[in-house]
Amino acid sequence: MLPRSDSPNPNKSAPLLSSPPAPPFSDEDFFSTTTSVASGSSSSDSKPPSPTQSLPPQIPLTWPPDGVLTLSWVTNLMQAFDWASKSLPPSEFASVLSVEVFDQLVLTASKILHKELNCVKIDSESGLGSDSRVVVVGDVHGQLHDVLFLFKNAGYPDEDRFFVFNGDYVDRGAWGLEVFLLLLAWKVLMPHKVYLLRGNHESKYCTSVYGFEKEVLTKYGDRGKHVYRKCLGCFEGLPLASIIAGRVYTAHGGLFRGTVVTPSKRAKRKNRKVVHNPEANALTLGCLDELAKARRSVLDPPWEGSNLIPGDVLWSDPSMIPGLSPNKERGIGLLWGPDCTEEFLKKFNLK
């Protein structure tokens, strides 16, 4: 396993986004062909349209008058982003999706995301059945055409097909904004079939270093700062982890330490304050109850206190060395050994 190259170390830097590269596959329109999915998959309305259904995208995109998204609206969004990525310079992106439509989409999605638990559960209450498929997706990093191909290949979300995206939607690639907005649209359309977890790049620190901030400013010009701030606010609502079918734990980084909460000197007062003491329990594996209570709304320096568990969940790495130890290479998070994996799985009855 190769270590991830991103690091919260401020002395490290990365090249910022320049003009978008050419799409990574042929100019064949994404919607001009269909790809069959595995037998037992759901109805055809979850697949990309057939050649006879292929139409040019309707742009500029407008927000539905009733505020209710439909499958046709989301698929048109996909077409529009695909077309614009091949036909327009980044500076003209606002002619496809105005700031006003952006605001409506992000606001609607944020209301849904902020209500979700830190660790979302995809189970029978979400409609998960014995014939359901759950597609778990790793880092997509602004690769719009990879995401479009994914939906083409696996099928759209539907009653029996769930998607769990495991963070890092932005940075590195040229189309981070399109990727994030597309996935937000699917979240709004099917909130109990599409789950968007947070990655370590969904933070002000990473997006200011690895390209997303510059991408947004390029695409929206004078309104770019507003759009960027709205994206950061939406990032804060993204859940940190998921448990699928009661057995599979997913998180962008991995395991996390336990914390000891000690009362302040005014502990006897009704509205007492508490402080997290990361050193007192630094080498103890955390539990799901602690994850549930963590504050996920901010993840930027300092990586301590209420940021401690989220920092671990998003930045930690597995190691072949047993035990827990500080992740010195990153300067945040942990290294956890196979014994910690075994302990965590057994403790919470996970696979």
Which of 201, 226, 252, 276 is the catalytic position? 201
State CA 10 to chain mean position distance: 23
CA distance 310 to 297: 9
CA distance 136 to 255: 18
Contact 170, 212 (CB under 8 A): yes
Among all chains, which residue has been given the structure tokens 């827990």?
Answer: 324
Cβ atoms 74, 186 nearer than 8 A: yes
State residue 248 phi and psi, 5-degree precision.
Answer: -115, 120
Cα–Cα dist 274/295, whole Å: 13
Q: Nearest CA to 81 among 103, 96, 99? A: 96
Burial class (CB in 10 A: 0-12, 13-18, 19+), 214: middle
Structure-derived torsion over alpha carbons of residues 334, 336, 340, 342, reported in degrees to the nearest 10: 130
Residue 141 gets the label, from left (phi > 0), alpha (psi -120 to 50) or beta, of left
Distance separating alpha carbons of residues 132 and 150, to the nearest angstrom: 18
Q: How far apart are CA 42 and CA 135, in angstroms?
A: 14
Cα radius of gyration (the chain):
21
Ordered alpha helix ranges (H), 221-325: 224-235, 288-293, 308-315
Sign (positive or negative) of CA dihedral 187, 189, 190, 192: positive
Q: What is the C-alpha separation between 247 and 18, in angstroms, rounded?
A: 42
141 is catalytic: no
Catalytically active residues, by annotation: 201
